[in-house]
Structure 1
Amino acid sequence: MVERIVATPEALALIKEMQTLHGEILFHQSGGCCDNSAANCYLPTDLTIGPYDVKLGEVGSVPFYIGKSQYEYWKHTQLILDVIEGSGGTFSLEGNTGKAFHTRSRLFSDEEWELIKSTVENDLA
């Protein structure tokens, strides 16, 4: 199975830190507004996930969502959750840690895309 969202070891370590501090968390890939295109980490009570969001998968047992309209642009890519040094997003839970979640991406190969195409089409049905 080809994963649509994966995480680096550094991201997995920061996820564990956020879980230790806050308990249950989730991610939502920002659409480019206030926090640019950051992956924001939230408490489940801080963000409503609805019909305009797509669940890409889980990283470190944490659900990762993206808005449908942004998903349309990025559906041919695998998102890679990473960590950079610096200020986190103003809305994201790691904002005061000196680290920030950061999303990288890579295009799926033709073979990978064929394997997941039916799943992608079902997600938006």
Structure 2
Amino acid sequence: METTISRLSATEKALDIIYQLENKYGELMFYQAGGCCEGTQPQCFEKGGFFPRMNDAMIGTINGHEFWIDRDLFEYWKYSHFTLDVTDGFGPGGFSLETPLGKTFKVHYRLFTKEEYEHLEPVKRSE
């Protein structure tokens, strides 16, 4: 049986914040836009608190919570693994649920190897 490679992971620090947010808000979702007001940092919302645009990409889940990215940003980063992390401070926009905790989610990227890229999990697209 062939193993599929995940496009997404999270650090322990990010998971700790996600657990706090789950306890307060319930089901969550993440969305990473391509820039402008919110920058390119991932935003965390209550599930259903943001509606992905047509053809945006859901690249995986973190603790069962969908992680969506802008369709154009996905085309740019589709050869990269995303690792969700968190840092102290306030990110652009301040709309994300971790903001009142004085934290900001961020993503570290690394390129997939050729072998990994050939065995990636499928991407779900919004309609």
Partner of 1:39: 42
* CA positional deviation for 1:84: 0.5
Partner of 1:115: 119
What percentage of residue pairs aligned between the two structures are identical?
A: 34
Alignment partner of 1:82 is 2:85? yes
Q: Give 5+ residue unaligned stretches, structure 1.
A: none
Give the secondary-structure state (helix, strand or coil) at the position aligned to 2:43: strand
Partner of 1:104: 108
Q: Give the Cα separation in 2 of the matches to 1:59 and 1:44.
A: 13
Q: Give 5+ residue unaligned stretches, structure 2.
A: none
Alignment partner of 1:7 is 2:26? no
Kept after mapping to 2: 8 A contact 1:88/1:96: no
Partner of 2:26: 23
Partner of 2:59: 56
Pick from 64, 67, 72: which aligns with 1:69? 72
What residue identity is the alignment partner of 1:85?
A: D
Q: Give the Cα separation in 2 of the matches to 1:123 and 1:21.
A: 29
* CA positional deviation for 1:88: 4.2
Kept after mapping to 2: 8 A contact 1:88/1:98: no
* CA positional deviation for 1:123: 5.5
RMSD: 1.9
Kept after mapping to 2: 8 A contact 1:88/1:97: no
Kept after mapping to 2: 8 A contact 1:53/1:67: yes
Give the secondary-structure state (helix, strand or coil) at the position aligned to 1:19: helix
What residue identity is the alignment partner of 2:10?
A: A
* CA positional deviation for 1:52: 2.5
Q: Give the Cα separation in 2 of the matches to 1:46 and 1:20.
A: 17
Q: Give the Cα separation in 2 of the matches to 1:80 and 1:108.
A: 12
How many matched pairs?
A: 122
* CA positional deviation for 1:30: 2.0
TM-score (norm 2): 0.87
TM-score (norm 1): 0.88
- Report the structure, 1 or 2, having the larger helix content: 1
